[in-house]
Amino acid sequence: MKNADLFLSNMAKRGLEIKDFSLYEQAFTHSSYRNEHKDECLDYERLEFIGDAVLDLLVGKFIFQKFPNMNSGELSKCRASLVRGKTLASFSKELGLDKFIRVSHGQEKTGKIPDKILEDVFEAFIGAFYLDNDRNFVKVEEFVKSFFIEPIENYLSYEQFDYKSRFQEFVQKDGTVKIEYVVLKESGSPQDKHFVIEVRVNGVALGKGVGSSKKKAEQMAAKEALERRVI
C-alpha cells in the first residue's frame, strides 16, 4: 500500500484499530494497478460490492428512524440522494484516502484521482472496515453514521441537487432534446438575491422555480417539471 505508515497513523488518530491490513490494501487497489501486477494483488471491486450493501442498509436504517412519516418511495429517494457518487467521493477526500490509492502508472502520471475512483474506494473501504469488524457491527454503524449525520439533517439540500439530473434522464429517455434554464426574474441585493427560473424542453416551458441562487432555482424548476410530468 502507498504510504502505509501514514494510513495506520491516520486511522489511529480516529480511534480505529486495523486488524487485517490486507483488507485495506485491497480496498485501495484499482483494477488498473492489478492489471500491471497480475500475480501480486487483488483489486477493490469485491470489497466495493460489500461496502455498497453496508451503506444501503445503514443509511436506510438511519433515515427510517429519522423520518417516520416518509413512505417507502420517499425513503428510497432520500437514500439515493444521500448515498451518491459526489457525496462518497467527498468522504474519501475527508479521510485522505486518495493518498493510499494504487492505480496504473498512466493514471498516476495525471496527478489526480478521478471522483469515480474516490467514490468506489470509499465503498471498498467501508467493506474492508465491515469485514475487519464483523463481530462488532455497532462499531461499523457508528463509523458510517459519523459521515451521514450532517447530510441526513440537511437531506433536502442533497435531494435538490439531484432534480436536474433526474429531469434530464426523464426527458432524454426517448432521445436527445434541448433543455434550457431561463432566468425570468432576478431581484434583491447581492447579499439577498432572488431568482425565478423556467425550464424549457425544445422551447416548451415545463416548470418554474425560485431560489436564492440560480442553481437552487434551477433545481426547483426541474422538480416542478418532474412532478407535473407534462412532457
For 131-146, the three-class secondary structure string (H helix, E strand, C coil) is HHCCCCHHHHHHHHHH
Cα–Cα distance, 227 to 151 (Å, whole number)? 24
Output the pLDDT for position 155: 78
**Is the pLDDT higher at 107 or at 73?**
73
Annotated catalytic residue 52: yes
Output the pLDDT for position 189: 78
Asked whether residue 123 is marked as a ligand-binding residue, the answer is yes
The whole-angstrom distance between residue 178's C-alpha and the CA centroid of its chain comes to 27
Cα–Cα distance, 229 to 156 (Å, whole number)? 21
Output the pLDDT for position 159: 60
Annotated catalytic residue 162: no
Output the pLDDT for position 123: 97
Q: How confident is the model at residue 157 (pLDDT cuts 50, 70, 90)?
A: low
In this prediction the pTM is 0.68
Output the pLDDT for position 231: 44
Cβ atoms of 152 and 62 within 8 Å: the answer is yes
Task: State which of 64-78, 119-133, 169-183 shows the largest mean pLDDT.
Answer: 119-133
Catalytic one among 36, 45, 52, 141?
52
Burial class (CB within 10 angstroms; exposed 0-12, middle 13-18, buried 19+) of 204: exposed
Output the pLDDT for position 66: 92
Output the pLDDT for position 156: 66
**Is the pLDDT higher at 73 or at 26?**
26
Cα–Cα distance, 223 to 85 (Å, whole number)? 20
Output the pLDDT for position 161: 54
Q: How confident is the model at residue 78 (pLDDT cuts 50, 70, 90)?
A: confident
pLDDT above 70 covers what percent of the chain?
A: 94
Indicate whether 160 pLDDT > 70. Answer: no
Cα–Cα distance, 117 to 113 (Å, whole number)? 7
Catalytic one among 25, 43, 123, 218?
123
For residue 117, the one-letter residue type is: I
